[in-house]
Structure 1
Amino acid sequence: MEIEESLNVGAFNGFGNSVVAQSQPLYLGFKRMTDFVLALVGLILLLPVFLIVALLIKWDDPKGTVFFGQDRVGKDGELFKMYKFRSMYVDAEERLASLLKHNEVSGAMFKMKEDPRVTKIGACIRKCSIDELPQLFNVLKGDMSLVGPRPALIREVDEYTNYDKQRLLVTPGISGLWQVSGRSRLTFAQMVELDLEYVTTRSYWMDIKILFKTVKVVCNGDGAY
């Protein structure tokens, strides 16, 4: 499935600043090198965690797979398969339509604090953001970065305005300004503003700062569900 409306980047507000942020070869080179090294080291060190979580997921819901792959929209609207530990029952996608009326955030996102599709183990690994760890594979592949805007779903992008689509100008990340500034407590509009702030002002030191803040947020379970 492809996004029907192509990115008219020239029409985006603040596009000039975005070009400046994207045309820094030294920054982008260091960012990619850091992403690759940290993702590789992380996967090696976290292997015992992966094995334990895999066993717990299969024990909790033997019918499903350990990993969950979902089509997401990446940089410049390119689609890629994003990986997570499965935290929901196998029929979660089929049940979504009946739950949309219970959406607890405005805009092109769906969030529900007491989502009945989430398994018991799923709720635990979501609280600690452990379900996101397989995205380190996406970082190795280059589909994602350690820091960047949250990867959007296709159905979310279908509702984007041209202004919202500016967040697709850079590679999506596992963490970002939105994730360290309140996460699920924020509205969609607030998320977009934080992402655009990152797009127009990002730097290597900003990425490092966000990574350190991410550790604190994850340890506190701040805004995760």
Structure 2
Amino acid sequence: MGPANSYYNDLLQQGYSSEQALTWTRNYYPEFMVQQTIQQPQFPTLVPTPQPQHFAQPTVMMLPQPNNQNNVWLILGIVFAIAIAFTVILAGILYVWASDLASSQNIEGTWYNPVDTIIFNSDGSMTESTNTLVEWRIDGNDLFMSEGDEYEYYFKYQITGDFLFLAPYDDDLETIMEKDCIAYSSNIEAKDMDTFENTIGVFPTWCNPE
């Protein structure tokens, strides 16, 4: 601070007004200028007003709930389809098993009915009441009987219990002549007509004698 300012301030402290102090000071210090203090404007303290917070609401996707009744019907349908498939497969297996069982049953031995007696020997030879057929062989469920080297006759056969059922094939070797089907029993008592008819049981579907 210079001497002019000191002199001016002393006058103010002695009670002179600012104009009087300025006049007297310029008498001694003509170039003296009062340095005005710029007061900073006072601003009220602003207290921030709390603003309500807005939270984003999560988007909730409502997925359609499955219909329990539809699920039950779907499950029942699947179970039913599996049951049908299993039944079909089992029926096929049983059919093959039954066919194999029928074909594997031993036809060797003596068979009787009221009008004929037929004997199948293990060496492939055979005898029957007319002494016409002399040889036999089996291929699956088919029985072949021949007069020797000249003629061979084709039959479908099945053994059920004590009974042997035979039905000849037609000339096409595919069509079964079911009305010409004949039956034999391994029981010698079947030579009696009444005994034969009372014990014969159920014929195969392809065996329908007149």
Structure number with the higher helix fraction is 1
- Specify if TM > 0.5: no
TM-score (norm 1): 0.24
TM-score (norm 2): 0.25
**Which one scores higher on RCO, CA 8 angstroms, separation ≥ 6?**
1
Larger Rg: 2
